[in-house]
Chains A and B, each alone.
Chain A
Amino acid sequence: MNRFAPIALVATIALFLQGCAGWQSALDPKGPAASELAWLIWFFTGLCAAVWVLVMIALALPLMMRPRARVEPLVIDADADNRKLRVVLTAVGLTVVILVGLTLLSFFANRTLAAIGSHAALTIRVTGHQWWWEVRYEDATPSHILTTANEIHIPAGEPVRLLLTSTDVIHSFWVPSLSGKLDLIPGRMNVLDIKADKPGVYRGQCAEFCGAQHANMGTFIIAEPREKFDAWWNDQLEPAAAPMSDEAKTGENLFLKRPCVMCHKIGGTPAGGTVAPDLTHIASRQTLAAGTLTMSRGNLAAWIADPQGVKPGSHMPVVDLNGDELNAIVAYLEGLK
């Protein structure tokens, strides 16, 4: 064999493993729940691989060994019979031990996962919609309750409790870098506890097929230091920024006059629709339409001009606007930091 073949093999595997890193990977854990699960994945994979190799060796050995001298079929060979019995019993015993062991491991891993949120200070209600996420920060003071969409800010290093439900079909919340997935079921409340060890942005994805735009139903968990998180929460509670330029003022008027107002809410204006994402601080978010487009003036215009081209089947209708009206509305929304 070529001397360099093993090196090439190792290099290739290392390259492939690089694909496991990133902001959305169960094999690149960034929180205690995901670490527990990643450890479980590797342990299961390793053990099952070892068992598979052993079984393959056990199968290959008799094929390669020279057949033993034939004994007389009528003579009772107590030794051989005993050996067969021992081998079968050992194999059955080992199988039972391994299965029970793995079951116990996943049981204890589940206990660890359940303990993460036992003293969570922050509760966030996540409601799945076709095809976006409604995010509501609960607070004892009603005026501190915050509703936003698609991006979930959390304080890093603190456990957070997510209450998951849905209004239309079953969705599933999955941020692989932080935890396992859990379904959002209409009329039911599921509880998922997450914790991010370090500040960072982790991508999540709907993991239960939920219709035409299931693939474009992304979410982002943005973990920040506590002070930054509190400042963000306070900023988001503010009503929308008043439009500064004439164009943006026209945009606000148009927004309130045209169909936008039937579904969307902008705090501080009469727009109070609750069936579509809250736009009070839309320009402070990093993406549009649940992770479909990055936030920019061009993308905002593209999304409003033809949502059915960007995300066919989404519930955002094509609204009849001329170029000036579109520009004005985009200018207004762009200022809602």
Chain B
Amino acid sequence: MRCAVAVLFPVVLMLVACQREERDTRPQSALGSGEQPTPVTTLEPGGQRPSPTDNKAASFEANAFHLSEGKRLFGWFNCSGCHANGGGGMGPALMDEKWIYGSSMESIHATIRDGRPNGMPSFRDKIPDDQIWELAAFVRSLSGNAPSSAAPSRNDDMMAHPSENRMPNAATLGKSP
């Protein structure tokens, strides 16, 4: 009896390791496409705007599945046509820590959805809203703004930068500890 427990207990412990991140392939909320707030500025009268209840940004930015889907879509939708593989070309570089329109998920989502002056097209209605969030999460990971446990770990082609999970952490980059 004691022997059986001694065997079963480690087995049960090991089974926990089989738990893996759920792949949320249907994350679309009833809210639908295009109804997310677009904070171009954080200055607002009457205090800060309450964050949206479904909070896409938080659920997408540290999720390995969404980050890797974003990486795939970045290639599929030809983002590299202007931004190269993050190094920039006709469009600005995405792998540095310089943000013209803000570094938050919401700002990048707004950039992709609504476009920006001087060339960034609007992908509103052309890309399902959740895929825009995936792209935004991936763009953030290009400059080391995603946890290395979740960021994509493999580049299939020659790249201007190491794979996203080996990018220097943006939070500590250039600062002495």
Contacts and interface: CB of A to CB of B under 8 A. Distances in A.
Bind each other: yes
Interface of A: 186, 257-259, 261-263, 275, 306, 308-309, 312-313, 315, 317-320
A189 to B, nearest CB: 17
A313 B130 CA distance: 15
Nearest to B30: A320
B44 to A, nearest CB: 28
Among B23, B128, B130, B131, the one with the most A-chain Cβ atoms within 10 Å of its Cβ is: B128
A261 B28 contact: no
A308 B25 contact: yes
Interface residues of B, number: 17
A318 B127 CA distance: 11
B126 interface: yes
A262 B126 CA distance: 7
A312 B127 CA distance: 19
Contact of B76 (A257, A263, A308, A319): A263
B150 to A, nearest CB: 18
Contacts of B61: none
Nearest to B28: A318
Interface in B15-42: 23, 25-26, 28, 32-33
Contacts of A308: 25-26
B127 A262 contact: yes
B23 A258 contact: no
A259 B25 contact: no
A258 B125 contact: yes
Contact of B127 (A186, A259, A275, A309): A259
Given A259-B125, A262-B77, A320 B32 contact: yes
Given A263-B76, A275-B76, A312-B25, A317 B125 contact: no
B129 interface: yes
Contacts of A315: 72
A278 to B, nearest CB: 15
B26 A261 contact: no
Nearest to B65: A313
Contacts of B33: 320
B128 A318 contact: yes
Contacts of A312: 25
B137 to A, nearest CB: 15
Contacts of B26: 306, 308-309, 318
23 contacts: A186-B156, A257-B125, A258-B126, A259-B125, A259-B128, A259-B131, A261-B126, A262-B76, A263-B76, A275-B76, A308-B26, A309-B26, A312-B25, A317-B128, A317-B130, A317-B131, A318-B26, A318-B28, A318-B128, A319-B128, A320-B28, A320-B33, A320-B129
B7 to A, nearest CB: 31
Contacts of B131: 259, 317
Given A308-B25, A315-B72, A318-B26, 11 more contacts: A259-B125, A259-B126, A259-B128, A259-B131, A261-B126, A262-B126, A262-B127, A275-B76, A312-B25, A317-B128, A320-B33
Contacts of A263: 76
A319 B32 CA distance: 9
Contacts of B25: 308, 312-313
Contacts of A258: 125-126
Contacts of A319: 128
Contacts of A259: 125-128, 131
Contacts of B156: 186
Interface in B109-141: 125-131
A274 to B, nearest CB: 9
A320 B132 CA distance: 13
Contacts of B130: 317
A313 B23 contact: yes
B130 to A, nearest CB: 7
Nearest to B31: A320
A172 to B, nearest CB: 20
B53 to A, nearest CB: 18
Interface string B64-94: 0000000010001100000000000000000
A308 B23 CA distance: 11
B34 to A, nearest CB: 9
Contacts of A317: 128, 130-131
Nearest to A276: B76
Interface in B127-161: 127-131, 156
